[in-house]
């Protein structure tokens, strides 16, 4: 994992982190601390969950490596400069089953061992398109799969380097997305049409 050593946080950032950790969100809502901003998201709609379900069914069935999946697992990821660590909740987190990554993990775990995170855009697509992408790259999560419902595209980001991913492949809904190792199969997106 990328070290999260930072300069000491300011009193304002300490207050932000304390406030975030003390939040009580309504049932089904989720709160995240992303790039120094608190984001509260309502429960997902049915289409959001349908896209996610289609991806997870294929990954668990077709992947060359046996995978564990976690929906809405809290990840504690490195932040820029002296900001508090990012507390991000991907729609899906995938890791090789042999790692048993989720067993015994705290509510907010580091991204070590995560093979891919999946996000399906919802109420604030900018967070998924940019802010979360930078968080995942900074944590060196190898693959980030983004289902962009507004644009009817799926993008696979790979090769994290610093603040972003070096490579990406974008296809329209209906076209296959080649997933590299450890998955090693083409994700069928025909159901997304």
**Region of poorest pLDDT, from 13-17, 38-42, 105-109, 177-181:** 13-17
Has this prediction a pTM greater than 0.75? Answer: yes
**Average of per-residue pLDDT values in the chain:** 92
Q: What is the pLDDT of residues 60-85, one digit of tens each?
A: 999 999 999 999 899 999 998 778 89
- Give the strand pairing for 153-161 and 164-172: antiparallel
- Kindly list the structural domains of the chain, giving each domain's residue range(s) and its CATH number in brackets, ordered by start: 11-192 (3.90.1570.10)
Question: Do 89 and 73 touch, CB atoms closer than 8 A?
Answer: yes
Half-sphere exposure (CA, 13 Å, Cβ side) for 109?
A: 18
pLDDT digits (tens, 9 = 90+) for 109-149: 999 999 999 999 988 899 999 999 999 999 999 999 999 99
Q: What is the pLDDT of residue 144?
A: 98
Cα dist from 148 to 14, 139, 159, 181, whole Å = 33, 22, 20, 23
- How many Å apart are CA 78 and CA 142, to the nearest integer? 15
DSSP reduced 3-state for 182: coil
Query: Exposed, middle or buried, 33 (CB in 10 Å: 0-12/13-18/19+)?
Result: buried
Number of other residues whose CB lies within 10 A of the CB of residue 130? 13
Q: Indicate the range of 47-51, 82-86, 99-103 predicted with least confidence.
A: 82-86
- The single-letter DSSP state of residue 134 is H
pLDDT for the residue 1: 47
Specify the pLDDT at position 8.
56
Mean pLDDT of all residues in 168-192: 98
- The model's confidence at residue 9, banded by pLDDT at 50, 70 and 90, is low
Cα separation, 173 vs 175, whole angstroms: 6
SS3 170: strand
């Amino acid at each position: 994992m990328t070290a999260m050593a930072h300069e000491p946080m300011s009193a304002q950032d300490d207050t932000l982190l304390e406030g975030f950790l003390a939040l009580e969100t309504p049932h089904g809502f989720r709160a995240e601390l992303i790039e120094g901003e608190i984001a509260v998201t309502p429960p997902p709609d049915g289409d959001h969950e349908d896209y996610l379900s289609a991806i997870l069914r294929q990954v668990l069935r077709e992947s060359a490596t046996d995978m564990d999946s976690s929906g809405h697992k809290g990840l504690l990821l490195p932040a820029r400069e002296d900001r508090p660590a990012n507390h991000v909740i991907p729609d899906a987190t995938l890791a090789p089953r042999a790692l048993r990554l989720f067993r015994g993990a705290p509510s907010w775990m580091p991204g070590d061992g995560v093979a891919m995170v999946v996000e399906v855009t919802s109420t604030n697509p900018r967070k998924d398109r940019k802010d979360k992408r930078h968080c995942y790259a900074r944590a060196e999560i190898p693959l980030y799969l983004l289902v962009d419902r507004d644009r009817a595209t799926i993008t696979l980001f790979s090769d994290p380097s610093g603040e972003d991913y070096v490579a990406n492949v974008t296809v329209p809904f209906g076209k296959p997305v080649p997933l590299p190792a450890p998955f090693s199969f083409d994700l069928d997106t025909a159901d997304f049409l």
